[in-house]
Amino acid sequence: FEYIRILKEKEPLFFLAENVSGILLPRHKEAFKTILSEFKSLNYNVSYYLLNAHDYNVPQDRKRVIIVGYHKKIGKVFCPPPKLNSKPTLKDAIWDLRLAKPAKDKNYTNGNEVLSAFNHEYMNGGFSTIYMSRNRVRSWNEPSFTIQAGGRHAPIHPQAPKMKFIEQNK
């Protein structure tokens, strides 16, 4: 509803929202209808589609409900682009990672001097067991499952400028 509030305040010519495919389940039907109704009440032509990123050249199965609204004053309605013939696999995307090295203690980067390419190292800390549950293993010739990650999985380049935090007077 915060997104709807911003749309109402800013009135952009179009918007895009996305959600997990589960929002289309019967138990969420009323909530989803309410969201669509709110979008439409703001003078948008609203359409939604269940799309898979793998159909658009992304090497993972990632189904998402894509909701697009065009302001009625421009008179457009969204239709998704046609699916592409290109369906990249894990091998296409990350074959070179088989040469990766473990990160240093506490997952500090090794730096470019020991890596064949920047960020070609893997985290040596623990992941939740959910990432390996339900036989979540794919062959090199398949797309990845939807990848879940958090900020700690994105190492900072060793030559990146350090962030400075300025304490504000209260």
Residue-wise pLDDT for 44-86, tens only, equals 999 999 999 999 999 999 999 999 999 999 999 999 999 999 8
Whether the full predicted model's pTM is greater than 0.75, yes or no, is no
* Mode of pairing for the β-strands spanning 63-71 and 44-52: antiparallel
Mean pLDDT of 131-138: 65
Instruction: Name residue, tokens 């030559």.
Output: 159
- pLDDT computed for residue 94 by the predictor: 84
Q: Which residues in 123-158 are b (16+ Cβ under 10 Å) and which e?
A: eeeeeeeeeeeeeeeeeeebbbeeeeeeeeeebeee
**Whole-number Cα distances in Å, 69 to 10, 82, 83:** 14, 19, 21
pLDDT-derived band of residue 163, with 50, 70 and 90 as boundaries? Answer: very low
What pLDDT, in 10s, does the model give residues 75-133? 999 999 999 998 999 999 888 877 766 666 655 555 555 555 555 555 555 655 655 55
Nearest to 1 by CA among 39, 40, 43, 33: 39
Residue 84 CA to residue 81 CA, distance in Å, equals: 9
